[in-house]
Structure 1
Amino acid sequence: MQVKQKVYELYKGTVERVTGPRTVSAFLEKGVLSVPEFILAGDNLVSKCPTWSWEAGDPSKRKPYLPPDKQFLVTRNVPCVRRAVSLEEEYDAAGAEVVLGDDEDGEGWLATHGVQASKPEEEEDIPSMDTLDIGKTEGINSIPSYFSAGKKAEEEEDIPDMDTYEDTGNDSVATAQPSYFVAEEPEDDNILRTRTYDVSITYDKYYQTPRVWLTGYDESRMPLKPELVFEDISKTMRGRR
Structure 2
Amino acid sequence: MLGIRSKISALREYLTPVSTVSTYQKTGEITPEEFVAAGDFLVYKFPTWEWFDVTASRRREFLPEDKQVLITRLVPSYIRANNDEGNKLAEALLGDDTLGAEDDGGWTEIESAIKSKAAAADDKRNDAIADMEAVDADDLDDFDAAEPAESSSDHDPSQKRTYNLYITYSLSYRVPKMYLSGFNADGVPLSADEMAEDIIGEYKDKTVTIEKAPFMEDQTMISIHPCKHANVMRVLLGKAEDKFIESQKPEEITEGMKNLSVGEDNEWEQIDDSHAESAVPVTHYMIYFLKFISSVTPGIEHDYTMGAL
TM superposition score normalised by structure 2: 0.46
Q: Percent identity?
A: 32
Q: Counterpart of 1:235? A: 201
CA distance in 1, matches of 2:163, 2:101: 29
Q: For residues 93 and 49 of structure 2, what CA distance do their matches in structure 1 show?
A: 33
Which one is further off, 190-199 or 97-106?
Answer: 97-106
- Report how far residue 29 of structure 1 moved: 1.7
CA–CA distance in structure 2, aligned partners of residues 217 and 191 of structure 1: 16
How far the C-alpha of 1:17 sits from its partner, in A, is 2.7
Distance 2:66 2:186 in 1: 31
Matches within 5 A, 1:49-88: 49-84=46-81, 85=83, 86-88=85-87
Greater RCO, 1 or 2 (C-alpha within 8 Å, sep 6+): 2
Distance (whole Å) between structure 1 residues aligned to residue 17 and residue 54 of structure 2:
22
Distance 1:74 1:212 in 2: 10
The farther-off stretch of 83-92 and 18-27 is: 83-92
Shift of 1:228: 0.6
Aligned length: 162
Is residue 2:37 matched to residue 1:40?
yes
User: Judging changes above 3 Å, is the alpha-carbon distance between structure 1 residues 64 and 229 closer, same or farther for their aligned structure 2 residues?
Assistant: same
Alpha-carbon distance in structure 1 between the residues aligned to 2:108 and 2:90: 19
C-alpha RMSD of matched pairs (Å) = 2.9
The residue aligned with 2:157 is 192
Deviation at 1:197, TM superposition (A): 0.2
Q: Is the 8 A contact 2:168 2:177 kept in 1?
A: yes
**Partner secondary structure for residue 29 of structure 1:** helix
- Alignment check: 8 A CA contact 1:102 1:109 kept: no
**Relative to total residues, which structure has the larger helix share, 1 or 2?**
2
Counterpart-to-counterpart distance in 1, 2:21 and 2:93:
41
Find the residue that maps to 1:63 and give its secondary structure: coil
Structure 1 gaps of 5+ residues are 114-189
Q: Which runs of 5+ in 2 are unaligned?
A: 117-154, 208-224, 226-309
Structure 2 distance, partners of 1:90, 1:109, is 14
Structure of higher CA gyration radius: 1
* Alignment TM-score, normalising by the size of structure 1: 0.59
Partner SS state of residue 232, structure 1:
coil
